[in-house]
Structure 1
């Protein structure tokens, strides 16, 4: 039986408090192949349209909860078997992955392809895009966690491409016994990922691809490739080390053993397009 795939355009930028993620999401929708199933867009206010206030230690929490509710409603409207999400910042995975957990339960594994584990809380960081995986597990802000009825078992997670985690992140991963595979392991063949799929008897995969797992010297549409950036402008957090070929090989390997039912592409930062957009708006006869 053919499965219904919902394609969700989700230009959320408030979770990372970074307006260019809005344009990044729109460009992903423009560049993607034509959808064969339903397509929905989560309504997201344009940057600058409303103030972003910090509530309960989370930047723009009212907007994020509204968008989370809207995304959940759109997903429930279609009750899809599979979901593609074109983000936006990393928080866009919360509602669709919660849906997939309800549908597939312990047969679902989450392959989180990212330089960072996204398990922080308000005690470490106010931007909720770094809280999303923790919320799926059931830790962090209660209003985010409340949207996850079937919590994600830590053993069903593989974080691929991670390196140099912060002390809190390292302790969290160790205490929850979350499997990880670093860039060099991925480049060497990704055997740890395949072993995880077999060990956990994973039949279905929800794949979260944060584009910042890619080497910013080779793929320029990520945060860390900001033109003119200084060496320490991003707090010395981990920056991507993988190539597009590394990521595609990993995903193809993983989906040869478990069926892909979820795919998020997040944190597209198209610097050249942003700068070109600004140029166009400043030129004579263009306003």
Structure 2
């Protein structure tokens, strides 16, 4: 039976309030292997340096909702069986994963490969990219949770690569009973995740892959490598501890067990590429020269 795989390119940046996500998402789409099926791009306004507004507890609420609706329109038109999402900040996976849980009538497990739990609410935080998994479970701001027609059951969610959180995040994760496989548990084996997958009985899985799960010593296109950031800019924020090889092994091991119907890759911040892009723009003949 033939299946339709849609590639969604969503260079969203407002969910993390970081302009570099826009170019990072575009570059990620350029670097990715050619798509075998249809490709659609959600139009996201290019950053212009303007400050984003705080709207009812969420930065850029209205812009994020417009982009969420645009994603939903594409999904309704294309009606894919599988989705690859190239972002952009983590919130880009909200509409695609909600769609997949409807498409497979709740027979969907979600593997969240991330150094952060993404279950915050506007009562705790103002950036929506840290709320996306909570929204998918049915918790958080109603403007976003109402877009999830069939919330994902907590027992069908597992973290991979998560090992520490804020006290608020710990409380939410423990209250929901979300499972977790730490980096140390996944060094040489994917078995903790495979065992959980089998326990769910799910025949399909969607995988959220936030690049910040990777050790920033091995991969520098992450928030933690932001140029000119103050020394304490990321104090207390857990950094990824997995290697690329470990993530590749894990995702392929999962694909051998169940049908992977969703893959979202997010939070690409190519600081060196951004720096040389901006340098080239400032040169004579090739760019604009001196402002």
Bucket of the pairwise TM-score, normalised by the shorter protein: over 0.9
Q: Give 1:65's aligned residue.
A: 65
CA shift digits 1:23-52 (9 cap, x unpaired)? 011111111111111111001001027652
Structure 2: how far apart are the matches of 1:233 and 1:256?
A: 40
- How far residue 188 of structure 1 moved from its aligned partner, in angstroms, is 3.6
Count of aligned residue pairs for this structure pair: 287
Task: Give the deviation of 1:228 after TM superposition.
Answer: 4.5
Partner of 1:185: 185
For 1:57 and 1:226, locate their aligned partners in 2 and report how far apart those are by CA, in whole Å: 26
Cα distance in 1 between the residues matched to 2:52 and 2:3 = 38
1:76 is displaced (CA, Å) by 0.8
- Kindly report which structure 2 residues correspond to 1:235-246, keeping only aligned pairs within 5 A, or say none: 235-246=235-246
Aligned to 2:82: 82
Residues 70 and 50 of structure 1: CA distance in aligned 2, closer, same or farther (over 3 Å): farther
- Cα distance in 1 for partners of 2:239, 2:113 equals 13
Equivalent runs, 1:11-30 vs 2, <5 Å = 11-30=11-30
Contact 1:217 1:225 in 2 (8 A): no
166-175 vs 229-238, greater mean Cα deviation: 229-238
Contact 2:106 2:150 in 1 (8 A): no
Q: 2:113 corresponds to which residue?
A: 113
> After superposition, what is the alpha-carbon deviation per residue over 1:85-133, rounded to whole angstroms, capped at 9, x for unaligned?
0000000000000100101133210010000010001111100000000
Structure 2 matches for 1:264-283, cutoff 5 A?
A: 264-283=264-283
Question: SS state of the match for residue 107, structure 1?
Answer: coil
1:218-273: per-residue Cα shift (whole Å, max 9, x none)? Answer: 10111112234444212421101111001001101111111100000000000100
Residue aligning to 1:139: 139
Instruction: Look up the match of 1:130.
Output: 130
* Contact 1:10 1:88 (8 Å CA) reproduced: yes
Give the Cα separation in 2 of the matches to 1:131 and 1:235: 21
Which secondary structure does the structure 1 equivalent of 2:208 belong to? strand
Aligned with 2:104: secondary structure? helix
1:11 deviates by 0.4
Counterpart CA distance in 1 for 2:163 and 2:229 is 21
Structure 2 length normalisation: TM-score? Answer: 0.96
- What stretches of structure 1 of length at least 5 have no aligned partner? none
Residue pair 1:7, 1:39 contacting (<8 A) in 2 also: yes
Aligned to 2:35: 35
- Runs of at least 5 residues in structure 2 that lack an aligned partner in the other structure: none
TM-score normalised by the chain length of structure 1: 0.97
Is the deviation greater in 48-57 or in 129-138?
48-57
